[in-house]
A and B are shown apart, each in its own frame.
Chain A
Amino acid sequence: MKPLNRVLIFLTALVLAAVTAWLGVQVASDREARAARFYEAVVKSRLAEVNGLLSAHLASVRESLTPALTAAGAQILAGDPSGGEGRRFVMTNPLVKGILVQDEKGVTFHPGQNPTGQELDFLDRLGAIADSGLLLAEMNPADGNDRATLAPGGWHPWFRETGLGLILWARLPGGGVAGAEISMARLKADFICLDPASAAEKASEDMRISILDSRNSPILSWGGFSPRQGTRPFIEKSLDPPLSAWKAACHLSPDVIDANEKSRRISLSLILGLTLLGLFGSALFIYREWNREVLEATQRVNFVNQVSHELRSPLTNIRLHAELLDNSIADDDSRGRERLEIIGAECRRLTRMIDNILTFGRQQRNAMDLIPSEWVPDRVVESTLELFGPGLREKGIEPSLRLFAERPVMVDKDALEQILGVLLSNVLKYASCGGFVGVSTGQRGDFTEILVQDHGPGIPLKSREEIFLPFVRLKDGIAEGASGAGIGLSIARELAVLHGGGLSFGFFGEKTGVRSFEGSPQGAAFLVQLRTPAPNRDEADGDSKTPAGSNETGGEAG
C-alpha cells in the first residue's frame, strides 16, 4: 500500500482514539464529580443529624434546669444567709458546677454569707464574666426591644484556657440574672451516651464521625474506620450555637474513594483499551485486507504472465511448423494454403495477445524497457498492416493509407508494432461495421505521429479517457461478443508514453503532423505520438535538420 494511505489510516485511527479518550475522560470526571457530590450529600446529612442530636439535647437540658436555676437565683438574690437553696441547686445537679447571681446593677451575690472554697474557686473562674456584666448584656440586648419580648434565658458560651465553656443564664423575676456554670465534662459524657445505637448505625464501617472541641481534639466519635493521625477530614462543619466553637467532622476511608476511583479507572481504561484495540484492529485489518487483495491481484497477474510465457513456446512452434508446411505443400493446393493462412493468422493473433499480456505484466511490475533502433516508421506500419490485411479484408475493409513518415529514426519497432496492433485489432473488433480504416503517418521534428481512423460506432464522450484504463471494455452494445481483456489501450498508451509521447483519442486537425481523413458522422480516431530522435550518424541528414513545427508531409491530399 502506498505510504500515504498507510499514514492516513494510522492518523484516522489516532484521531478517533483521541476523541474517544477525551470523551471517556469527560464521562469519568463527570461521574467522579457526581460521586463526590453524592458522598458530600450523604456525609453532610449525617453531620446535620448529629448536630441536631446535640442541639436537641442542649435544649432539653435548658428546659429541665432553667426552673430550678431561676428559683435558686431568686433565693440568693433575696438574701438567704444560709445559701441553702443555691447550694442545693449546685449539689444536686450533676451538670452544674456553680451558680452566679447578679442584680440589675451588676452586683454579684454569693450563696450564703461565707462562700466555701469551691465557691471561691468558681468565682475566680467566672470573675471576668461577673465583672464585665456579660450576662446582664445577654439579658438586655442593645437594640432596646420591648420588654415583653426579651429572652427569658439562654446559653452563654465563654472561652477559657481549657476550651469552650457554657453558662446557662436565666432572667430572674424582679430583675437580675442567674447563671449556672455547666460541667463540660459531664456534658461531653452525656453527648457520648446520646442514643449510641442509632448514631453508630448512622456511621458505617467506612466513615468516622467525630465531634471536635475548640482545640480540635475529638470529644466523641462513632464509626468503624480509624483515620491516620493528622488526616484532614472529608467534611467539617461547625455545630449550631452555643456550641459553634465545636465542629462535627467526618473522615471517609480512602478505600471508599479509592475503590470507586479504582473501579472507575479500571472501567475507563477497559473501555479506552477496547476502543483503541478496536480502532487499531480495524485499521490493521483494512491494511492487511488491502495488501491481501493487492497480493492476490499480483498473484493473478503473475499467474497470467506465467501462463502466457508458457504459451509462447508452443505457439512459436506452431507458427514455425505452419510456415514450414507452407513451403512443403503443393502450389496448387489452394485449399491447403488457405487453411495455413488461417492457422498463421490465428497464431499471429495469439502471439499478439500474449505479447500484450506480457507487456501488461511488465507494466505492472514497472519492468517495461524500450530498445530503440533505426527504422523507417512507414515500413513498420506497412508490415503491421500486412499482418492485419487478411483479417480486414475478411471484414470487407481495405485500409486507406497516407504515409509520410519516410525518415529513418530511432524507434522501438516492437513497441510500435504492438501499439498499431492494438489499434487495428480494436478496429476489427469494434469498428468493422464502419467498413473503413484509415492510417496516416507523419513526422515533425523528433516526433513521429500516426493516426488511425475508423467509421465505427465511435466512443461516447464520457468514456474517452476511461477506455485507456486497464480492464475497461465499453459495454453498451459495442463490445457484445467481442473478446479481449480490455488491456490493449492501456498498454498502448503506456508504451507510447514510455516512448516519450502519448496516445490519445480524437481529431486534432492541423495541429498534428498527419493529414487526417475526413471524419464521418461517427467513428473513432486514435493518435499515436512517439518521440523518435534521429539516429546518431556522422553525416548530417538533411531531414534531421528539419526545424520543429514544419510540416514535412507532402502536399498530397488523400
Chain B
Amino acid sequence: MNNRNSVYSRISEYIGVHEIALFLIFVGLYLPYSHGESVEVVAGFSNPVVLAGGKTLNYLKIGVRGLESQSRRARTPVNVALVLDRSGSMQGAKLEYAKKAAIEAVSRLDRRDFVSIVAYDDNVRVIVPATRAGDAGFLSSRISEIGPGGGTALFAGVGFGAAEVRKNKNPEIINRVILLSDGQANVGPSSTADLADLGSSLVKEGITVTALGLGLDYNEDLMRNLARSSDGNYAFMATPGDIEKTLDTEFGDILSVVAQEAEVTVNLVGCRMVRGLGREVEISGNLVRGRLNHIYAGQEKYILLEVEVDAGPGAVPAGTRLPGPMGGDVLVTLRDMGTGESVKEARTVRISTTLSSAGVEEGIDKGVMVEVVKLLARENYRQAVNLRDEGRVEEARQILISNAGYISVSNTLLMSNDLAKAGLDNDSAASTLDDANWNSTRKQMMERDHEWELQLR
C-alpha cells in the first residue's frame, strides 16, 4: 500500500467518475469561450426579433474585444519604424517637439523590440537602421541630430520605413510604421490614391501604418486613407505639444496588442447583404469578409453589416411553413500574440419572428443599436462636412439638424451617454457652419468624427 494509491483512493471516495466527467465537460464548454484567452468575440443582431411578414433592415455586429487581463502577461515584442517629416515646414518648435516625443516613445521599448528611425525631406535618410531597441542613449542622440530640410517626400519616407520593418518582420510580433507629418506630400507620388494603394499593399504583408498629422496644413484625406487602408491608426495633433501625448498613446497601443490578423467571415442565411458600415468589407453574394487586424487590450473592434431580412409574406395563420432560418454564421480568425497560435472562433446568430411589435421592441439589442445609430449619424455628419466644403452651407446645416433629431429620437429608447453627446455635437456644429474660418472648424469637426471612429478602431 503506497501513498499515491491511498491519495487516489481517497479522492475517488469523494468524487465519482460522473463528477469528473461533468467537470471536464464544463471546462470543455468554457474552453471555446475563453479559449480566446486574449480576446472575447460577441456577435449579434440589433433586432434579433422581427415582425413577421415584410422586409426590414437589420444590423449584424460582430465584435472582438481584447481582454485586459492579458496585458499582465509578457507583452508582444514590437517591430516599429518611426518616420519623421523634417521638411522645411517642420522647422523650429514642431521638429523639436517631434524629436522629444520620439525619444520619449522609443525609451519605452526594450531589447525584445526592433526599432528604426527614418527622416525625410526631399530625400530620405535612415537615421537608425532596424536594430534592437534598448540603447536609449544611442537612439536619443541620433534623433537629436535630425535637422530641418526642404521638400516632403512622404511616400518615400513610408516606403523606407516599411523596408526597415520588413527586415525583422515576423507574424509573432507587431510590425508597424508610424508616420508623423505636418504637410502636403510634394516629392514623389503624392496622391491619396498612391498612398492608399501603398497602405493596402503593406497590410497584405502584415505591416500597418499609423498616420499622425500635425497642425492645420497636412493633407487629411491622404493621411487618413493611408492609415485606413493599412489598418493603422490616425490621429490629428493640433499643436506640437500634442505630439508627445499622441505618440505615447500610439506606443501604448502597439505595446498592448493582444491579437493580430483578425478577420471576420460571415455567411448570411436567409437575409441579403446591403452594405458594411464604418469599415470596408468584401461582399461576395452571401459571403462577407472583413479585416480587423490588430486587437488591443481593453478595446473592442467590430464589423457592422446592414442586411435586409425578408420575414415572409405578412401575418400567417398558424401552421404555415415559416421562412427558413435567418441570421448569419460567423467565423473569426486571428493570431493570438500570447500563444503565437492561430485561433478560430465560430458563432451562429439567428433572427426570430414575432407577431407583436412590443416583442420587437423588447428584443432590441441596445448595445448593437447604439453603434448602429452612431455609425449612421457619422455618415450624415460627414456628408454635411462634404456639402459645406462645396459651399452648400444651408443644405449642410439641414442635414446636421435632422441628424441631431434622429439621434435624440433613437436615444429616447437607447439612453446612451455617447449618443447624447453626439446629438449635442451635431447641434453645435450646425450653428458654427457659418464661421469665417471653415478650415479650423472643419478640422475640429473631423477630430470629433475621428474620436467616434476611435471607438470603432
Cβ of B205 and Cβ of A94 under 8 Å apart? yes
Cβ of B283 and Cβ of A116 under 8 Å apart? yes
B22-46 vs A, CB cutoff 8 Å, 1 = contact: the mask equals: 0000000000000000000000000
Cβ of B201 and Cβ of A183 under 8 Å apart? yes
**B13-21, B96-104, B185-193, B449-457: which lies at the interface:** B185-193
**Cα separation A217 to B187 with both chains bound (whole Å):** 9
**Cα separation A256 to B289 with both chains bound (whole Å):** 58
- Secondary structure type dominating chain A contacts: mixed
**A148-156, A219-227, A464-472, A545-553: which lies at the interface:** A219-227
A81-121 vs B, CB cutoff 8 Å, 1 = contact: the mask equals: 00100000001111101000000000000001111111100
> Could you say which of A92, A193, A217 has the most chain B C-beta atoms within 10 Å of its C-beta?
A193
B151 contacts across to A, CB distance below 8 A: 226
Q: B167-196: which residues lie under 8 A (CB-CB) from chain A?
A: 187-191, 193-196
Cβ of B287 and Cβ of A221 under 8 Å apart? no
A183 contacts across to B, CB distance below 8 A: 197-198, 200-201
Tell me the smallest distance from the CB of A202 to a CB of chain B, in Å: 14
A184 interfacial contact with B, CB 8 Å? yes
**B69-77, B158-166, B318-326: which lies at the interface:** B158-166
A83 contacts across to B, CB distance below 8 A: 284
Cβ of A116 and Cβ of B197 under 8 Å apart? no
Cβ of B285 and Cβ of A113 under 8 Å apart? yes
Tell me the smallest distance from the CB of A353 to a CB of chain B, in Å: 97
Cβ of B201 and Cβ of A162 under 8 Å apart? no
**Cα separation A422 to B244 with both chains bound (whole Å):** 122
A189 contacts across to B, CB distance below 8 A: 155-156, 158-159, 162, 198, 201
**Cα separation A223 to B153 with both chains bound (whole Å):** 14
Q: B373-427: which residues lie under 8 A (CB-CB) from chain A?
A: none
**Cα separation A185 to B185 with both chains bound (whole Å):** 14
A300 interfacial contact with B, CB 8 Å? no
The 8 Å CB contact of B201, one of A95, A115, A193, is: A95
What residue in chain A is nearest B198 (Cβ atoms)? A185
A226 contacts across to B, CB distance below 8 A: 122, 150-151
Cβ of B201 and Cβ of A218 under 8 Å apart? no
A263-282 vs B, CB cutoff 8 Å, 1 = contact: the mask equals: 00000000000000000000
Tell me the smallest distance from the CB of B88 to a CB of chain A, in Å: 12
What residue in chain A is nearest B162 (Cβ atoms)? A189
The 8 Å CB contact of A94, one of B156, B195, B201, B284, is: B201
B123 interfacial contact with A, CB 8 Å? yes
B434 interfacial contact with A, CB 8 Å? no
**Cα separation A350 to B194 with both chains bound (whole Å):** 118
B221 interfacial contact with A, CB 8 Å? no
The 8 Å CB contact of B284, one of A95, A114, A185, A220, is: A114
Cβ of B156 and Cβ of A186 under 8 Å apart? no
B202 interfacial contact with A, CB 8 Å? yes
Tell me the smallest distance from the CB of B262 to a CB of chain A, in Å: 15
**Cα separation A114 to B267 with both chains bound (whole Å):** 13
Cβ of A188 and Cβ of B123 under 8 Å apart? no
Q: B183-227: which residues lie under 8 A (CB-CB) from chain A?
A: 187-191, 193-198, 200-202, 204-205
What residue in chain B is nearest A213 (Cβ atoms)? B189
The 8 Å CB contact of A192, one of B160, B190, B200, B204, is: B160
Cβ of B122 and Cβ of A185 under 8 Å apart? no
Cβ of B159 and Cβ of A193 under 8 Å apart? yes
Task: Given A94-B202, A226-B150, check contact A184 B197 (CB 8 Å).
Answer: yes
Cβ of A118 and Cβ of B162 under 8 Å apart? no
**Cα separation A113 to B285 with both chains bound (whole Å):** 8
**Cα separation A179 to B158 with both chains bound (whole Å):** 28
Tell me the smallest distance from the CB of B222 to a CB of chain A, in Å: 12
B361 interfacial contact with A, CB 8 Å? no
A115 contacts across to B, CB distance below 8 A: 284
**Cα separation A183 to B155 with both chains bound (whole Å):** 14
B124 contacts across to A, CB distance below 8 A: 192, 196
Tell me the smallest distance from the CB of A244 to a CB of chain B, in Å: 19
The count of chain B contact residues (Cβ–Cβ below 8 Å) is 36
What residue in chain A is nearest B199 (Cβ atoms)? A185
B284 contacts across to A, CB distance below 8 A: 83, 112-116, 119
The 8 Å CB contact of B282, one of A95, A116, A162, is: A116
Cβ of A185 and Cβ of B201 under 8 Å apart? yes
B280-303 vs A, CB cutoff 8 Å, 1 = contact: the mask equals: 001111110100000000000000
**Cα separation A186 to B163 with both chains bound (whole Å):** 11
Tell me the smallest distance from the CB of A319 to a CB of chain B, in Å: 107
The 8 Å CB contact of B287, one of A114, A185, A188, A190, is: A114
**Cα separation A92 to B162 with both chains bound (whole Å):** 17
A188 contacts across to B, CB distance below 8 A: 155, 159, 188-189, 194
**Cα separation A66 to B162 with both chains bound (whole Å):** 24
A94 contacts across to B, CB distance below 8 A: 201-202, 204-205
What residue in chain B is nearest A118 (Cβ atoms)? B282
Cβ of A185 and Cβ of B189 under 8 Å apart? yes
Tell me the smallest distance from the CB of B325 to a CB of chain A, in Å: 20
The 8 Å CB contact of A196, one of B160, B162, B190, is: B160
Task: Given A118-B282, A184-B197, check contact A91 B162 (CB 8 Å).
Answer: no
A114 contacts across to B, CB distance below 8 A: 283-287
B198 contacts across to A, CB distance below 8 A: 183, 185-186, 189
A92 contacts across to B, CB distance below 8 A: 204
Tell me the smallest distance from the CB of B118 to a CB of chain A, in Å: 11
Tell me the smallest distance from the CB of A23 to a CB of chain B, in Å: 45
B282 contacts across to A, CB distance below 8 A: 116-118
Cβ of A193 and Cβ of B188 under 8 Å apart? no
**Cα separation A116 to B193 with both chains bound (whole Å):** 20
Cβ of A93 and Cβ of B204 under 8 Å apart? yes
Cβ of A218 and Cβ of B204 under 8 Å apart? no
**Cα separation A114 to B194 with both chains bound (whole Å):** 28
**Cα separation A93 to B206 with both chains bound (whole Å):** 11
**Cα separation A260 to B163 with both chains bound (whole Å):** 40
**Cα separation A119 to B284 with both chains bound (whole Å):** 9
Tell me the smallest distance from the CB of B354 to a CB of chain A, in Å: 32
What residue in chain B is nearest A187 (Cβ atoms)? B201
B197 contacts across to A, CB distance below 8 A: 97, 183-186
B155 contacts across to A, CB distance below 8 A: 185, 188-189, 192
Cβ of A162 and Cβ of B193 under 8 Å apart? yes
Cβ of B123 and Cβ of A221 under 8 Å apart? yes
Cβ of A185 and Cβ of B194 under 8 Å apart? yes
**Cα separation A162 to B205 with both chains bound (whole Å):** 25
Cβ of A192 and Cβ of B283 under 8 Å apart? no
B190 contacts across to A, CB distance below 8 A: 217
B138-166 vs A, CB cutoff 8 Å, 1 = contact: the mask equals: 00000000000011000110111011000
A91 contacts across to B, CB distance below 8 A: 204
B158 contacts across to A, CB distance below 8 A: 189
A167-203 vs B, CB cutoff 8 Å, 1 = contact: the mask equals: 0000000000000000111101110110010000000
Cβ of B202 and Cβ of A192 under 8 Å apart? no
What residue in chain A is nearest B189 (Cβ atoms)? A188
**Cα separation A256 to B60 with both chains bound (whole Å):** 67
**Cα separation A188 to B158 with both chains bound (whole Å):** 12
**Cα separation A192 to B158 with both chains bound (whole Å):** 10
The 8 Å CB contact of B159, one of A93, A95, A192, is: A192
Tell me the smallest distance from the CB of A95 to a CB of chain B, in Å: 7
**Cα separation A432 to B123 with both chains bound (whole Å):** 109
B283 contacts across to A, CB distance below 8 A: 114, 116-117
Cβ of B189 and Cβ of A219 under 8 Å apart? yes
**Cα separation A83 to B201 with both chains bound (whole Å):** 20
What residue in chain B is nearest A191 (Cβ atoms)? B159
Tell me the smallest distance from the CB of B194 to a CB of chain A, in Å: 5
17 A-B pairs with C-beta separation under 8 A: A94-B205, A112-B284, A114-B284, A115-B284, A162-B191, A183-B197, A185-B193, A185-B196, A186-B197, A189-B201, A190-B159, A193-B162, A193-B163, A196-B160, A221-B122, A222-B123, A226-B150
**7 interchain residue pairs of minimum CB distance:** A114-B285, A185-B197, A189-B159, A186-B201, A94-B201, A193-B163, A114-B284
Known: A116-B282, A226-B122. 12 other contacts (CB 8 A): A94-B202, A95-B201, A162-B191, A162-B193, A183-B200, A184-B194, A185-B201, A188-B159, A190-B159, A193-B162, A193-B163, A226-B151
